[in-house]
Amino acid sequence: MAPAEDTALDDSRRHLEIHNRVAEAFLTLAGDEVYGAVLDIVREVFESPLGIFGYIDEDGALVCPSLTRDVWQECAMAGKDYRFPPESWGQSLWGRAIRERRPLFTNEPCRVPAGHLPIRRVLCVPIVDQGESIGIVNVANRDRDYDDRDAAELWTICSHIAPVLNARLQRDRHEKHRRRAEAELLRARDELEQRVIERTAELSEANARLRQEIAERGRVEHALRAANRLLERLFSTTAVAIAYLDSRGCFIRVNRAFAEIAGLSPDYFPGRQYDEILGHDEIAAALAEAAATGRPAEAFGRPLEVRSAAGGDPVHCDWSIQPVLGAGGGVEGLVLTMRDVSRRLRAEALARRHQEELAHVSRLGVMGEMVSAIAHEVNQPLCAIVAFAQACRRLLGDRPDCPPEAREALEQIAGQARRAGDIVHHLREFSRRREPRRAAVSINDIVRSAVGFMAPVLHPRGLGVRLELAENLPPVSADQIQIEQVLVNLLRNAVEAMSDLPPEQRVPVVRTLLPQEGIVEVEVRDCGSGLSADGLERVFEPFFSTKPDGMGIGLPLSRSIVEAHGGRLWVVPNCDRGVSFHFTLPVHDADRPGD
Amino acid sequence: MADRGGRPVVFVVDDDEGVRKALSLLIRSAGLEVRTFDSAEAFLEDYSPGVAGCLVLDVKMTGMDGMTLQEELWNRGLDIPVIMMTGHGDVPMAVKAVQRGAIDFLQKPFDDQALLERIHQALALDARRRVEAGERALWAARLARLSAREREVMDLLVAGMGNKEIALKLGLSRKTVDIHRAHVMLKLGVESVAELVRVGLLHGSGPGGG
């Protein structure tokens, strides 16, 4: 074999071996280790102590993982880096080699930055794949110069590396993208999880709120039900008769009290017209009117014709109609309330009759007492006239010189005066108080009734009466109206005697007691201005009064009444202020005639 | 104490001046003596029981009324006859007054005859009472003159005993009893035992009396 052929064969064999070693490195080494391994092979092939094997990354920067090997330790540059962006390349030989996509070498020392290892000679070969520089391999500082053969050989090696590196770069890029995507995915997942956690928290919070709302709603419903029950109970048990009707006067619902007025069951009403059940009365007319106008109506103490009621006393009612207005202002329904006031009216009528009777008896009593007092007063001068006339007739009449006409006149004076006396006497008989209509009555009831009749006088002035009523008193034998009149007289006097006191002190006291067997005593005490010694003595005299407008009849009349009952009425001064009037009444005795 | 020889007086008590004057004139016109008072208190102040007379009294007066005055006179042991005058309507009170010893009651205005009749009636009653009182005083004085033993003998005679029984009871001789009886009859001025018994029964309830 020729030496050239041998050399070529050797070269071929060498190239094959280098390719195998490089291919093996690419196949067996993962990550950046491959760059160091390949660079070691290349430095060994080209007997260079220094070298660089780098690739162009996506941003066009040169990345040299192989730098980290031995060069890196010896490099003293500040801010060491193994990633060089294109703008940092400058006019460096390797930068030109990359840009120009062809091998360049120099055997002159290169200008390098401070701290950089000195470069005596260098060979720079770009790795070009499909017309683009995708990396570079540099070898430097061989003991002998680099030449074109070296450049061509390294170019060949690099052109072998190019597709593998490209594939690797592609793969790395994909890997990187995949990792980034995975990271992205992971982050997205984390975010999602976070959001799920947040949403879950929000949901559970909403859930708790909902549960709370449900509980709240339950409570409200419970309260509503209770309120409803209360309303229902109120509606069904109130004494006020309530009916709800639609605007055509048709019953929707009525309560028990309403149904009772008509004497029917509440179930009978719904769906029926008012006048169908209760007749065409003024309420029916007022319902129609209220439905038409939307205005309420009411009336008091009206007689009610109840068609279906079962006889009995006439029913009187206070009634009122309240229209229920809808949102549009139209009448939606009518609330009719009625109150049966028959019993109240009857009680009022009774009380009025009682009061009228009391007033009548009072007037009669006062008149009788006045006539009696006038009779007594007039009687005295009449008595004197008669006596004078008769004395005259005695003194003159027997004398012979007395004219018969004079004697006759004196007889007439006496006769006419006696006639006047008879007239007074008859007048008195005529107006004499009726005999008390006695019955067994409770003195405490009489006192309460009398105080009740004083109410119209006392209450407007803010006055009251204190009652100290003994319990278990036996009934007295009395004419209730007359004794009430005595009490009213005494109470009125007591209040008037205290007129200069402030209202809260102007409280008369009525006391009842049983001072001894068979007698009940009533005391009416005031703390007024009291009576003088003369007043105490004369207070029961007719026409004697300490009041500026007093007639002086009340007390004499009261005394007459009490005495006609077989009791006594007297007055004693209190030890502190005012006076006390006392009167007694006999206890009722079923065996006594008249009792 | 009995009669001072004066004429009986009609006392009129009424608080009405017209009535007092009229009654005064009327009573004087009948020839009687009158004294008037305007109140019960004034009458009580002035009245002396030695004066014979009667009382014409109004039931209703301010101050002490007629009923109270009547009660007061009773309490003081004065039994002057009372005629009550009433207005109308005091009838129940007048009835009560009569029950308590008043002669009568007259309802004003009354007739002079009615009043004067009652007054004469009252004065007669008063005179009779005064005579009786005089007799009572006379016999009391005579009885007072008897000795204790004489009084004893008299009481036994009044009780219906004979001389023999009295002598036995008192442990005396019949003769001594006879002498006592003679003294008693002499001192009392009675002439028979029958008269002695009447005196003893009427007035003899004094000291030593059975």
- The CATH superfamily label for domain B9-139 reads Response regulator (3.40.50.2300)
- The fold adopted by the segment(s) B145-203 is Arc Repressor Mutant, subunit A (1.10.10)
End-to-end Cα, chain A, rounded Å: 181
Q: Are residues A273 and A373 in the same domain?
A: no
Looking at the structure, do residues A334 and A396 belong to the same domain, yes or no? no
Nearest chain A CA: its distance from B206 CA (Å):
44
Considering only A104-113, A127-136, A453-462, which range has the smallest mean pLDDT?
A: A453-462
Rounded mean pLDDT, B32-36: 95
Assess whether A333 and A368 both reside in one domain.
no
Q: Are residues A475 and A423 in the same domain?
A: no
The pair of three-digit structure tokens given for residue A340, joined into one six-digit string: 């049966």
Residues A28, A160 within the same domain: yes
CATH code, A403? 1.10.287.130
Residue A441 near residue A417, CB atoms below 8 Å: no
Whether A461 and A561 share a structural domain: yes
At A1, the pLDDT band (50, 70, 90 cuts) reads low
How far apart are the CA of A426 and the nearest CA of chain B, in angstroms? 10
**Domain CATH number, residue A86:** 3.30.450.40
Residues of CATH 1.10.10.10 domain(s) within chain B? 145-203
Helices within A238-268 (DSSP H only): 256-262
Distance CA A34, CA A47 (A): 19
Task: Give pLDDT tens digits for A548-583.
Answer: 767 677 888 888 889 888 899 999 999 888 999 999
**Which residue among A401, A430, A459 closes a domain?**
A430
Chain A residue with minimal CA distance to B28?
Answer: A391
Q: How far is CA A76 from CA A80, A81, A115, A185, in A?
A: 8, 11, 4, 42
State the span(s) of chain B assigned CATH 3.40.50.2300. 9-139
Whether residue B5 is predicted with pLDDT greater than 60 in this model: the reply is: no
Rounded Cα distance between A71 and A36, Å, is 11
B23 contacts A380? CB cut-off 8 A: no
* A211-241 burial: b if 16+ Cβ within 10 Å, else e: eeeeeeeeeeeeeeeeeeeeeeeebeeeeeb
Secondary element (H or E) of residue B153: helix B148-158
Same domain assignment for residues A312 and A166: no
Written as one letter, the residue type at A350 is L
Angle of CA points A10, A29, A130, to nearest 5°: 70
Q: Would you place residue B1 in the very low, low, confident or very high pLDDT band (cuts 50, 70, 90)?
A: very low
Q: Enter the DSSP assignment of A79.
A: T
From the CA of A435, how many Å to the nearest CA of chain B? 14
A554: closest CA of chain B, how far (Å) = 18
- Cα gap B186→B163, rounded to integer Å: 17
B113-116's contacts with Cβ under 8 Å and 24+ in sequence apart are B115/A387, B115/B23, B115/B26, B115/B27, B115/B56, B115/B83, B116/B26, B116/B27, B116/B30
Residue A209 falls inside a structural domain = no
Contacts of residue A421 in chain B, CB cutoff 8 Å? 108-109
Q: Is the dihedral of CA B61, B64, B68, B74 positive or negative?
A: negative
Total domain count for chain A?
A: 4
Average pLDDT over residues B161-178: 89
Tokens of A61: 């920067």
Find chain A residues with C-beta within 8 A of B21's C-beta.
Answer: 384, 388
Residues A171 and A256 in one domain: no
Tally of CA atoms within 13 A in the half-sphere of A208 that contains its CB: 5
In this structure, the answer to whether residues A447 and A567 fall within a common structural domain is: yes
Q: Among A181, A200, A220, which residue terminates a domain?
A: A181
Band (A519; pLDDT cuts 50, 70, 90): very high
Among the three residues A181, A210, A225, which one is the final residue of a domain in this structure?
Answer: A181
- The answer as to whether A227 is a domain residue is no
Please check whether residues A401 and A548 belong to one and the same domain.
Answer: no
Per-residue confidence (pLDDT) for residue A77, from 0 to 100 = 61
At A592, is the pLDDT very low, low, confident or very high (cuts 50, 70, 90)?
Answer: low
Answer whether residue A192 is part of any domain. Answer: no
Helix/strand number for chain A, H first, E second:
14, 18
Nearest to A479 by CA among A367, A357, A351: A357
User: Over 70: is that where the pLDDT of A57 sits?
Assistant: yes
CB contact under 8 A, B25 and A379: no
Average pLDDT over residues B101-118: 88
Q: Is the pLDDT of residue A35 over 90?
A: no
* pLDDT score of A435: 65
A49 plus A176 within the same structural domain: yes
State chain B's mean pLDDT as an integer: 86
Q: Is the residue at A219 inside a domain?
A: no
- pLDDT band at residue B2 using 50, 70 and 90 as cut-offs: very low
* ipTM exceeds 0.90, yes or no: no
Range of the domain at A301: 238-340
pLDDT at A308 over 60: no
Q: Which residues, including other chains, have CB under 8 Å from residue A273's CB and lie 6 or more apart? A: A248, A249, A250, A251
CB atoms A387 and B112 under 8 Å: yes
**Contacts with A386 from chain B: Cβ below 8 Å:** 22, 109-112
Judged against a pLDDT cut of 60, whether residue B197 lies above it is answered with yes
At B134 the pLDDT is 86
Q: Are residues A418 and A502 in the same domain?
A: no
Which residues 358-397 on chain A approach chain B with CB closer than 8 angstroms? 372, 375-376, 379-388, 390-392, 394-395
